[in-house]
């Protein structure tokens, strides 16, 4: 009877350890996802930077330039269309140069930040794209003289956002939530290792397990981004842009995985040092 009760307590303790460690892992995975997505879309400026980085990356730049030139060829007058068809390679090179221009990238980032800010806060905003369009036209004219240095005025170059009913911006909460999830996960981790894991040699593994679960999840997302890439897109240029976006997402999740791997190592080292200090005090006592 005593043996049966003891076995029942051991089983209950193990189940409790698994449950608490699982909750700790869930908290740390959530913190890791927040940490990885913050540089991508955590704020309007981060989202704008991500869009510009993807659009102007070396791999995506050529694909976007080809599509833009094709669009210009479809929409241009007959004479200009003939010039674009005859000198297509030069036009593509001109658009690539414009996409790689630092001033164009800066203006695009600023304009997109205003657009995303209006979308997330619901504030009334006016975004004037004419400086960006003028800069692009100037860069295009330097590379290909067929492009006018000053484009004709565009009616839709100024974007107006009406005030929205609700605000969706919660960027100021992301870092506190991430820190809270890490703190809760670490506390649950330590409690499980200290009170639910009886064997000393397994306690260090119990401390590391939730952090390693977060690392595994983040690494799996990184691998999925690399494997999937442009899957689902039939257009070759869309696939290239999708692969560039997936690479940007994968790089952010890879950075988060490395961070949590460091946290796992730090947690194990801290646990080991704490155990040595506690045993030294016990011997002195």
**Crossing angle for the helix pair 58-75 and 78-86, to the nearest 10 degrees:** 140
Q: Which residues contact 46 (CB under 8 A, 6 or more apart)?
A: 38, 39, 40
Residue 197: its pLDDT value, please? 82
Tokens of 3: 């043996």
Mean pLDDT for all residues in the chain: 85
84-141 pLDDT, tens digit per residue, is 778 788 888 888 888 999 999 999 999 999 998 888 887 788 888 888 888 887 877 7
Helical spans, DSSP H, in 42-77: 44-55, 58-75
Residue 153: its pLDDT value, please? 61
- Enumerate the domain spans of the chain: 2-41+171-284, 44-161
- Compute the distance between CA of residue 94 and CA of residue 88 in angstroms, rounded to an integer: 10
Residue 1: its pLDDT value, please? 47
* pTM (predicted TM-score): 0.84
3 state DSSP class of 285: coil
Distance of alpha carbon 164 from the chain centroid: 26
Residue 20: its pLDDT value, please? 93
Backbone angles phi, psi at 182, to 5 degrees: -65, -45
Residue 24: its pLDDT value, please? 96
Backbone angles phi, psi at 122, to 5 degrees: 75, 15
Q: Which residues contact 221 (CB under 8 A, 6 or more apart)?
A: 36, 249, 250, 253
Which segments within 34-164 are labelled E, that is strand? Answer: 125-128, 158-161
pLDDT by 10s per residue, the chain, length 285? 467 777 777 788 888 888 999 999 999 999 999 999 999 988 899 999 999 999 999 889 999 888 888 877 776 667 667 777 787 888 888 888 889 999 999 999 999 999 988 888 877 888 888 888 888 878 777 776 777 777 666 656 788 877 765 555 566 788 899 999 999 999 999 898 888 887 777 888 899 999 999 999 999 999 999 888 767 777 888 888 899 999 999 999 999 999 999 999 999 999 888 888 887 887 776
Residue 171: its pLDDT value, please? 67
Residue 255: its pLDDT value, please? 96
């Amino acid at each position: 009877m005593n043996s049966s009760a003891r076995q029942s307590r051991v089983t209950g303790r193990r189940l409790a350890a698994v449950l608490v460690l699982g909750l700790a892992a869930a908290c740390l995975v959530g913190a890791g996802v927040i940490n990885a997505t913050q540089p991508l879309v955590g704020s309007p400026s981060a989202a704008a930077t991500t869009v510009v980085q993807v659009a102007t990356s070396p791999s995506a730049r050529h694909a976007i330039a080809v599509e833009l030139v094709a669009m210009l060829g479809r929409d241009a007058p007959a004479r200009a269309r003939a010039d674009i068809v005859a000198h297509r390679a030069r036009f593509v090179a001109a658009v690539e140069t414009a996409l790689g221009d630092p001033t164009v990238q800066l203006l695009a980032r600023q304009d997109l930040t205003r657009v995303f800010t209006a979308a997330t806060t619901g504030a009334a905003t006016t975004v004037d794209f004419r400086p960006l369009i003028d800069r692009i036209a100037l860069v295009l004219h330097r590379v290909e003289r067929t492009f006018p240095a000053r484009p004709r005025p565009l009616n839709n170059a100024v974007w107006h956002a009406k005030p929205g009913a609700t605000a969706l911006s919660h960027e100021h909460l992301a870092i506190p939530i991430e820190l809270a999830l890490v703190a809760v996960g670490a506390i649950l981790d330590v409690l499980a290792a200290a009170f639910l894991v009886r064997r000393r040699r397994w306690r260090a593994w119990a401390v590391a397990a939730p952090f390693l679960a977060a690392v595994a999840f983040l690494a799996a997302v990184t691998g999925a981004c690399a494997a999937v890439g442009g899957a689902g897109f039939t257009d070759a240029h869309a696939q290239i842009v999708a692969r560039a976006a997936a690479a940007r997402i994968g790089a952010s999740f890879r950075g988060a995985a490395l961070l949590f791997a460091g946290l796992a190592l730090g947690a194990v080292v801290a646990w080991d040092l704490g155990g040595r200090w506690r045993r030294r005090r016990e011997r002195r006592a």
